[in-house]
Structure formats: structure tokens, C-alpha cells
């Protein structure tokens, strides 16, 4: 008599345990996908940040707008991502403001470089304003550095 009731109770417990494992497994899968997306986004941001900083430093060494662009692009091309999910950063904009070579005392000549890269996240991110589709996440960074242009006037009194 009591054996039939006990078997039903055991089957109900096994069914409940299976349902709990299924729900927890689904939730853990979503959490892991979100963690993976965040890790890829952080890696992409790190690549873009380093490339932009280094490209702006190089561009600040340029003597002209064209030279600054070339130097920034060359440095940005050296920064490759460690993952096939993140594209290599590219220079999207270079602003070279030397005030015509004669800045006023309250002006500082500067160069501003913007780089960007895209990251392909495996699961859609809803936090960064995406619509939920699995589109690439585009990240951009901008740095501004003072122009390092040392023009030494000729020394009229060369001496020992």
C-alpha cells in the first residue's frame, strides 16, 4: 500500500529536480553569454584605447598635418587585436591644429586622433543601446596631445 505512494513521491521529486536543473542551466547559460560579451567588449575597448593613445603620441611628433596622419595610421596599424572577434583599430580622424605656426600665448598647438574598431559579440548586448540583434559593437576613442614641434633657431654666436 505505502509503496505506490512512495514511488509517486520519488518520481515527483525527480521531475522537480529535473525542472530545477533545466531552469538553472538556462539562467547560467544567459549569464555566461553576458559575461563573454562583456569580456570581448572590454578587450576591444582596451585595443582601441592603446592604439589611439599611441597614434596620438606619434601624430604629435609630426611637422605637418599630412605627416601627423601618416604617423598615426602607421602606429594604429601595428595594434592588432588578440582575438578574431575584434577588428584591428583604424584611425578615423586626425585634427592637427598648430594655429598657423604662430599660436598666441593662451593657445596650445595640439593634435587630436580618433580610432575605432568593431567587436563581434556572440550574444546580443542590450545594454549599449543595440536593438538586440547580433550586430557588431563599434567602439571609438579620442586622444588629444600637444604638438611636439621643436624648431631651434640658428645660434648667432656659436662658441666653445
What does pLDDT average to in each consecutive run of 10 residues of the chain (160 residues)?
Answer: 58 74 90 87 91 94 90 88 83 90 82 93 62 74 86 53
Domain extent, residue 56, equals 2-146
Asked if residue 154 is part of any domain, the answer here is: no
pLDDT of amino acid 152: 44
pTM across the whole model = 0.72
The answer to whether position 105 is within a domain reads yes
For residue 127, what pLDDT is reported?
Answer: 52
Q: How many CA atoms lie within 13 A of 129 on its CB side?
A: 3
pLDDT given for residue 153 in this prediction: 47
160 is a domain residue: no
pLDDT score for 134:
61
DSSP percent split of the chain into helix, strand, coil, nearest 5: 45, 20, 35
Question: For residue 61, what are the contacts with CB-CB under 8 A and spacing of at least 6?
Answer: 68, 71, 148
- Tell me, what's the pLDDT at 36? 87
Specify if 63 maps to a domain.
Answer: yes
> Is residue 84 in some structural domain?
yes
Q: Output the pLDDT for position 5.
A: 64
* Domain presence at residue 78: yes
Residue 158, domain member (yes or no):
no
Q: CA 53 to CA 49: how far, in whole Å? A: 6
| Domain count across the chain | 1
Amino acid at each position: 500500500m505505502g509503496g505506490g505512494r512512495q514511488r509517486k513521491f520519488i518520481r515527483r521529486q525527480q521531475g522537480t529536480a529535473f525542472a530545477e536543473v533545466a531552469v538553472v542551466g538556462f539562467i547560467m547559460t544567459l549569464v555566461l553569454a553576458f559575461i563573454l560579451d562583456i569580456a570581448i567588449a572590454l578587450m576591444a575597448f582596451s585595443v582601441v584605447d592603446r592604439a589611439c593613445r599611441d597614434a596620438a603620441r606619434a601624430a604629435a611628433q609630426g611637422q605637418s598635418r599630412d605627416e601627423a596622419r601618416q604617423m598615426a595610421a602607421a602606429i594604429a596599424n601595428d595594434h592588432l587585436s588578440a582575438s578574431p572577434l575584434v577588428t584591428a583599430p583604424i584611425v578615423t580622424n586626425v585634427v592637427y591644429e598648430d594655429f598657423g605656426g604662430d599660436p598666441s600665448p593662451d593657445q596650445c598647438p595640439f593634435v587630436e586622433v580618433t580610432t575605432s574598431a568593431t567587436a563581434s559579440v556572440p550574444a546580443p548586448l542590450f545594454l549599449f543601446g543595440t536593438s538586440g540583434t547580433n550586430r557588431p559593437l563599434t567602439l571609438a576613442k579620442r586622444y588629444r596631445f600637444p604638438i611636439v614641434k621643436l624648431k631651434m633657431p640658428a645660434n648667432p654666436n656659436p662658441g666653445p
